[in-house]
Structure 1
């Protein structure tokens, strides 16, 4: 199969390794396997067909080592007693293959754990990002730099389609020339494409070979030149709201199950962080609305309480003498909150600074300033301050 959907029971935690230095060790192991295959070919004298060794599919190494080992064991059983040297060479080759199998297992296990640990570190860093937009802006870069991939694309999902938004490619300039033409372009979610299946399954897909998979070829194959990739869903609540596509292009190496597990863990972590960020932003919006309503109500209550008491004072304070100022320095009655605002006005504080000091909204400050000006019969803040100081 060229496409693999992870089963519900196969889910693991996720994380990854920065950079690509782990590939160098993998290449060394593949080169060693090639060398042992050549040795086996000489010892077996072309009597059997040996499996090929290719770095683009390193996960087949264990199966190749096993096949070579069994072929050498079969040949050893047929070695005549007179050919001791050949028997020793075959025994040594079998031992070398078994050592390589153990080295490969240890490398694969260690790197899977290391990549998951590095992925967790990346998610921990993203936890400190201030808002949901910044979180998404940093997701692709963190997936590539921390998790051992070469490039990653973030897309949003809506109305049975997905829209590419951003790319991070360690081998190309920011944005990528091929990708710029696809930003904000609509890609349909139809048929049995891996992306379409994820809408209901909410599980990542591993595409082994794009040549034989029902992928969206104009973007993924023709523009992106991807031979093999992993796509993982971003989930908000019960809905898939985005995709993370990642691969090893331009390396020949194809993705494997370890890549799928790492990408899934990262996408799952980003989903939780994004949901948290969205909830915090909504709470902040509601808090600001409630605060505005509360202080607006307090301001209205102050107006109602003072309307009767100050009604007879408006006409007197509104009249000014030729020199300017309230007639006879009639004292102006300010509420306690208005007095607090006025005291800060005298210091030259702005409306926002007053709001911050008194823990009220700027709109409430403006309302208090308007009332203060009206009570002083002043046309601006400076005039009210001047009259208040002259009358003190």
Structure 2
């Protein structure tokens, strides 16, 4: 069953519920805002109907039966929708992790619509406490429409809004209701009922993602859990790029330092030393640069793992480490995996960055 068929079933269930409530002298339900609210109201009505005296129950048996049948149909729709999303989620997250940060925002929005089933997704960078929307994806009859916002679009975050809480607390996805919705974001999203999640870069909030449910649905707990999976994947991808940049910077700094040492040593050897000549007492050899040792990391490693970590930090490959330590390359790989796991790194570049950054 697709969303359109589920919507028609929801309308039929809402009509039946109004009839049942009238026969049972119940006050009319509030105007339904989503399929979930229609299903919830109908369930309460039928539960009340089966508790009343037998004469009323017999009179309303047909209506109750039809209502229960439609409730079951909608339950199946939600289960099938949830199952399809969970089955497609791993592949979607892999696609997300395989793109660079220049296309990450667009792909993230498109995956939230095409795979997670949201009606709209908007990615916004965070700059000086304000939001700068950059990309939007919207569900259409033909698939997904993706647009890029103009660079000068800026949304000043309202105080006490869900967006401000999201930026300052850096928690998980939040379901937003009318009272705490940011007015300008609500205008951009064309609704005051949506969800928002922060995207972390290292430990700070660098962006937020807004999602709007696909009509006639509302955002439920399953949607929040799904959004949380994308939030984690996006945060990991952006943080990975940051650590890669740090590692590259460290490598460049080490390379420049090594080149300087070699140049100084060559100059000293060529200009200052004369074999057999006396060295003036006031001349002292330059102090040797000692690589920084990261005791915080090494304290959680074995002696062999410490040797491997130091050689990794020097840029040696697995084969070179095996030659240096006179062990097999498979043994080296095993030590590398243990080191990465113990220090919380996902790859060698991040391990080097962590080691040098804290050394």
Q: Structure 2 vs 1, CA of residues 153 and 184 (structure 1 numbering), >3 Å: closer, same or farther?
A: farther
**1:220 alignment partner in structure 2:** 186
1:108 to 78, 86, 89: 78
Unaligned runs of 5+ in 1: 1-20, 80-85, 310-392
Q: Structure 2 vs 1, CA of residues 24 and 281 (structure 1 numbering), >3 Å: closer, same or farther?
A: farther
* In the alignment, structure 1 residue 197 sits paired with structure 2 residue 157: no
Distance 1:132 1:285 in 2: 18
Distance 2:3 2:146 in 1: 23
Q: TM-score w.r.t. structure 1 length?
A: 0.58
Is contact 1:150-1:246 (8 Å) kept?
A: yes
Q: Which has the higher contact order (CA 8 A, sep 6+)?
A: 1
Q: Structure 2 vs 1, CA of residues 174 and 63 (structure 1 numbering), >3 Å: closer, same or farther?
A: closer
Deviations 1:148-184 (A, max 9, x none): 11221111224333222222234486436xx53xx44
* 1:166-315 equivalences in 2 (<5 Å): 166-171=135-140, 174-175=146-147, 179-180=149-150, 183-198=151-166, 199-200=168-169, 202-209=171-178, 213-221=179-187, 223-248=188-213, 251=215, 253-295=217-259, 297-298=261-262, 301-302=265-266, 305=269
Is contact 1:30-1:61 (8 Å) kept?
A: yes
**2:98 alignment partner in structure 1:** 128
Distance 2:145 2:13 in 1: 35
* 1:335-354 equivalences in 2 (<5 Å): none
Distance 1:165 1:133 in 2: 11
Q: TM-score w.r.t. structure 2 length?
A: 0.62
1:51 to 8, 15, 29: 29
* In the alignment, structure 1 residue 27 sits paired with structure 2 residue 7: yes
The alignment of Structure 1 onto Structure 2 pairs a total of residues equal to 270
Deviations 1:204-253 (A, max 9, x none): 221233xxx243323432x442242111111234322210011147x454
Distance 1:63 1:219 in 2: 29
Q: 3-state DSSP class of the match of 2:98?
A: coil
Deviations 1:122-164 (A, max 9, x none): 21112222x4334334222222222111221111224333222
Compare CA radii of gyration and give the structure with the larger one. 1
* In the alignment, structure 1 residue 164 sits paired with structure 2 residue 133: yes
**1:145 alignment partner in structure 2:** 114
Q: 3-state DSSP class of the match of 1:78?
A: helix
Distance 1:52 1:76 in 2: 26
Unaligned runs of 5+ in 2: 274-359
Distance 2:114 2:50 in 1: 44
